[in-house]
A = this chain, B = another copy of it.
Amino acid sequence: MRLERWVPALVWGRAYDRATLGGDLMAAVIVTIMLIPQSLAYAMLAGLPPHVGLYASMLPLLAYAVFGSSRVLAVGPVAVVSLMTATAVSRIAEPGSPEYLAAALALALLSGLILIGLGLARLGFLANLLSHPVIAGFISASAILIAAGQLRHILGVPGGGDTVLEVLPALARQWEAVNLPTLVIGGATIGFLVWVRLMLSRLLMRIGLTAKLADALAKAAPVVAVAASILAVAGLDLAGAGVAIVGAIPQGLPPLTVPPLDAPMWRALLPAALLISVIGFVESVSVAQTLAARRRERIEPDQELVGLGAANVAAAMSGGFPVTGGFARSVVNVDAGARTPMAGVLTAGGIALTAVFLTPLFFHLPNAVLAATIIVAVLGLVDITAMRRTWRYSKSDFAAMAVTMGVVLGIGVEAGVLAGVALSLLLFLWRTSRPHMAVVGQVPGTEHFRNILRHAVVESPIVLTVRVDESLYFANARYLEDRIAALAAERPAIRHVVLMCPAVNLIDASALESLETIADRLKAAGITFHLSEVKGPVMDRLKRSDFFDHLTGQVFLSQFEAFRTLDPEAAARAMATGPGAPVSAAGGAPPSQGGGGR
């Protein structure tokens, strides 16, 4: 039982049969065809030789199949993590050098260990620090950054720069050096891939294929561009005309690798590894959840951390680089018939066959085709809809998204994530730091209490009742002190203050002290302080403190009880009046039952 908890393969492996194999095999064939150009391209994006992409698509898939909790997630190199790898590794090593490859291995190992550690310590909640708007902003901006960075391969110029503000002017300065055959190949590939994406699946459906299969085939179409471009470059000797090609790729299975034990390098990579782990996990687990929900399966987030961690450790030990679950690839996997992680095992087998037998075929593959594949893939990640939706729903969430995007594009990916996280935390604190508080009175003829500004209610001249609509914690504890002090100072005649707590789910130590301070200060002014409608768990905790030494009044189970006890005369007046009559002692606002008032 215990072992099965951590090794999901023991569960699905036991029930495996021939019928399942058929679906898994079909899916593996299509995913392999889709993965070959992607793995080469994402290795290039990460600044690594193309075969590293193939290596990262074998053992990691096996490891995830054993330890991952999703049945159908397709793991491997993905665009955003490859960009983050390039950013992190190029800071400490020269692209193309053996140190660069070694650092990429170390990054994968670190990231794997972090993921496994978070999973075993059940710290997956840390991923929640990344709010949806921050992630959406980060992915969109990264996509733009990636596309801008790949333009140099389409133009056939050296390029340069880390941010969009540096990359685009650098390209513009080199317009005279543009290699025309490269541009033609790159442009044609982009055109073809966009056509495939927009039209092909509809075309295939018209000739009788099912929608799912048509989509899956359309996703595999880049392999056609790869084959055609290889034939064109080889046949017309375009490499001689200046078209950059992939060149010789080492043939065979990945070697066993161990990242070097270099403490300063590990320390330098640690922050990047943490970010890559968290971002990779967040993206992957959301794909896994979506696919699992369709079939009422469960994803264990902690087990998912272990599965992705194992995949990254496997990448580090087999000459690869950081991997995670890919969205498009996983959807193709499911649609093509995958039922178990065996599809991943078979995909790894397909990539292994490619690495052993087919790599010589890629000699004439132009880099421009790989760049075109990347550009078309990532531009689909720029989520304009999410930006518009967030703007409409919440300006502060949009601010977090916009800052994330701005910093990613203008400064860098890691600074962008950190700025986004910091801002969303601050904005959340700001929002909850001034909780909604309402002075309430009794609705005539009922035992209900409502906002005196929104309803015709009975108030007491000697009892001030304040309802607070938020948990009380350090960010709003002092505001509570200020507000109650102000409300009490405005009403010189009052003798009791009641804090009504039906929406208070938590009172932390800061808020506890503030409540004690409020009680002490009111006492000094000759006012008694009471609570009403405190939730059970909150009350249990208050009983563990010395709060009741400070509380001058009582805790009432219901606000009606409080009102009846503290000002029987006003309560009786309220019960004697029919509902809706204009009875507000304070002569407050006109009756209003609409507008979401309580």
Interface residues of A in 383-404 (CB under 8 A from B): 389-390, 392-394, 397-398
A512 within 8 A of B: yes
A208 within 8 A of B: no
User: Do the beta carbons of B537 and A596 come within 8 Å of each other?
Assistant: yes
Complexed CA–CA distance, A299 and B481 (Å): 11
Please tell me if A479 contacts chain B, counting CB pairs below 8 Å: yes
Query: Which chain B residues border A394 with CB–CB below 8 Å?
Result: 508-509, 541
Q: Which of A26-65 contact B (CB under 8 A)?
A: none
Helix, strand, loop or mixed for chain A's interface? helix
How far does the alpha carbon of A421 sit from the alpha carbon of B597 in the complex, in Å?
36
Q: Verify B508–A475 contact, CB threshold 8 A.
A: no
Partner of A294, one of B430, B506, B521, B541: B521
Size of the chain A interface, CB-CB below 8 angstroms: 85
A280: min CB distance to chain B, Å: 15
B474 near A471 with CB under 8 A, answer no
Q: Which residues on the B side are within 8 Å of A474 (C-beta)?
A: 128-132, 424, 428
With an 8 A cutoff between CB atoms, is A231 at the interface? no
A429 at the interface (CB under 8 A from B): yes
The minimal Cβ–Cβ distance linking A156 to chain B, given in whole angstroms, is 41
B476–A128 CB distance below 8 A: yes
Assembly of this chain: how many copies? 2
Residue of B nearest to A597 (CB): B536
A329 is an interface residue with CB less than 8 A from chain B: no
Known contacts A485-B298, A510-B132, A536-B598: A541-B127 contact under CB 8 Å: no
Q: Is A205's beta carbon under 8 Å from chain B?
A: no
Given known A436-B505, A474-B428, contact A289–B541 (CB-CB < 8 A): no
1/0 per residue, CB under 8 A from B, across A520-552: the answer is: 111011000000000111011100111000000
Residues of B within 8 A of A502 (CB): 503
Q: Is A170 located at the chain interface by the 8 A CB criterion?
A: no
Known contacts A298-B486, A492-B296, A596-B539; A544/B392 CB under 8 A: yes
Question: Which residues of B sit under 8 angstroms from A294, Cβ to Cβ?
Answer: 521, 524-525
With an 8 A cutoff between CB atoms, is A174 at the interface? no
Q: Could you tell me the distance between the alpha carbons of A546 and B385 in the complex, rounded to whole angstroms?
A: 11
Interface centre among A429, A475, A513, A535 (most CB of B within 10 A): A513
**Distance between Cα atoms of A536 and B451 in the complex (Å):** 13
> Which residues of A are interface residues toward B (Cβ below 8 A)?
125, 127-133, 285-286, 289-290, 292-299, 301, 389-390, 392-394, 397-398, 424-425, 428-436, 469-471, 473-479, 481-482, 485-486, 488-489, 492, 502-503, 505-506, 508-510, 512-514, 517, 520-522, 524-525, 535-537, 539-541, 544-546, 595-598
Apart from A125-B430, A133-B510, A394-B541: 15 A-B pairs, beta carbons within 8 A: A125-B429, A128-B433, A128-B479, A129-B474, A132-B513, A293-B524, A296-B488, A299-B482, A392-B545, A393-B509, A428-B473, A428-B475, A469-B505, A470-B471, A537-B596
Counting from the closest, the 7 A-B pairs by CB-CB distance are A536-B596, A293-B521, A131-B474, A397-B509, A132-B510, A294-B524, A131-B510
